[in-house]
Amino acid sequence: MVTDVIPAAVDVEDLRCQIQDKYTEVAKTPEKGFHFHTGRPLALMLGYPGALISRLPASAVESFAGTGNPFSIGPLRSGETVLDIGCGAGFDSVIAAMRVGPAGRVIALDMTVAMLEKASASAKQAGVSNMEFRKGLAESLPVEDSSVDVVISNGVINLCPDKMAVMAEVHRVLKPGGRIQIGDIVVHKEVPQSAKDNIDLWSD
């Protein structure tokens, strides 16, 4: 049975600032250690092949903080345009760029400047030139209508209070017949409203 969803009573701007602060730390001091898994051990746990991880720049691997493997859902094709929502240090974006080849392109999007800078450095180290980097929000994508073949995202949409707005934007930018390949957190039990309204639980 579908019931009305009560929005979380959090200040969205405060939440974004907290998330940016947290992931700036992940970008700049990945060795610090966090309450969530990161880096190569996490990627292996999520099913990324070790040989593939070894092909990626250390800068992309050390700050990887995903929750799944979008590529396990299906392959990318040569020449496709891919949008990575919340690209982080570029781990999935660089993989996507390798897979779509020179005829394709990858739009790496993040709201955290430190992560975008690291993703750009990762692309240069990987020798891929078919990536572009855009600062923006998942709820308001700086991407043209019907311009993307595949949207990927990894552990990001769970951090957005208004998921309907995110998915409406995904629908807007996808070409007809476009695909969504998202790795994220799935909750099997209803989250209490008090937890939804606790901003510290979103970003901690």
54: domain range?
12-203
3 lies in some domain: no
The CATH number assigned to the domain holding 129 equals 3.40.50.150
4 lies in some domain: no
2 lies in some domain: no
6 lies in some domain: no
Helix axes 113-126 and 91-100, enclosed angle (nearest 10): 40
173 lies in some domain: yes
Q: Inform me whether the pLDDT recorded for 2 exceeds 50.
A: no
Distance CA 89, CA 136 (A): 15
167 lies in some domain: yes
Average pLDDT over residues 195-203: 59
Distance CA 154, CA 14 (A): 22
pLDDT in tens, 159-195: 998 999 999 999 999 999 999 999 998 776 776 676 6
5 lies in some domain: no
Distance CA 145, CA 179 (A): 14
Phi, psi of 136 (to 5 degrees): 180, 180
Question: Nearest Cα to 203, choosing from 152, 140, 161?
Answer: 161
Structure tokens at 32: 């610090």
Name the domain count of the chain: 1
pLDDT in tens, 112-166: 999 999 999 999 999 999 999 999 999 999 999 999 999 999 999 999 989 999 9
